[in-house]
């Protein structure tokens, strides 16, 4: 019998913040263990024609939740999709779209671009710890941020959206690159 893998993805809703003092990291695995064990099948999977097992896991949902704004992010011949959150900062960015910005790498964990004007900070937490694939706004410098690495918690970060796709294509941009961000809904 070969090894069996079971993946469980628990997304964090946009606009929520993660506490460094939370204990869920310790209790969640214990709570989910019976559920995960029941969800994982003990029946072997038929081998693929090449003789190897293929394991797939679903990607993030591309359907926007109520209040989210679907957007497309274009650079070169690449088009990625994302969703802006339902918060004042994200709505303020959506009101400025379409935008064409020059992004550059920052600390090998994020790509940043200066926005034409500051975004609203009304009703948002004083800081956040964004995840990989999140879109953020860094208020102290007025930058729009695409996170492809772990930056940790910083005051002034607001998570304002999330990419539906992998961040590899953004991460691989070695030099400054032009990005056009626009609302979706009309013909792509």
Per-residue model confidence (pLDDT) at position 161: 98
pTM: 0.66
Q: In angstroms, what CA-CA distances link 129 with 66, 118, 125, 161?
A: 23, 20, 11, 13
What are φ and ψ of residue 97, in 5° steps? -70, 145
Per-residue model confidence (pLDDT) at position 56: 31
Per-residue model confidence (pLDDT) at position 57: 33
Q: Measured between alpha carbons, how far is 118 from 116 in angstroms, rounded to an integer?
A: 7
The token pair that represents 171 in the structure block: 């991460």
Per-residue model confidence (pLDDT) at position 67: 82
- CB-side neighbour CA atoms (13 Å) of 129: 9
Mean pLDDT by 10 residues, the chain (188 residues): 45 48 43 46 42 35 72 96 97 97 97 97 96 98 97 97 94 95 73
């Amino acid at each position: 019998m070969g090894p069996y893998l079971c993946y469980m993805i628990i997304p964090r809703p946009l606009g929520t913040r993660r506490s460094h003092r939370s204990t869920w990291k310790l209790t969640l695995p214990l709570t989910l263990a019976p559920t995960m064990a029941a969800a994982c099948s003990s029946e072997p999977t038929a081998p693929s024609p090449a003789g190897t097992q293929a394991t797939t896991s679903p990607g993030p949902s591309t359907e926007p939740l109520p209040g989210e704004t679907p957007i497309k992010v274009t650079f070169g011949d690449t088009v990625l999709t994302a969703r802006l959150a339902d918060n004042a900062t994200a709505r303020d960015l959506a009101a400025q779209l379409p935008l064409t910005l020059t992004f550059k790498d920052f600390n090998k964990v994020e790509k940043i671009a200066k926005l034409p004007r500051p975004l609203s900070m009304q009703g948002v937490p004083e800081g956040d710890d964004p995840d990989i694939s999140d879109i953020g706004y860094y208020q102290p410098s007025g930058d729009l941020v695409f996170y492809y690495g772990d930056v940790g918690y910083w005051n002034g970060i607001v998570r304002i959206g999330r990419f539906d796709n992998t961040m590899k294509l953004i991460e691989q941009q070695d030099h400054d690159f032009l990005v056009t961000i626009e609302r979706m809904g009309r013909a792509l």
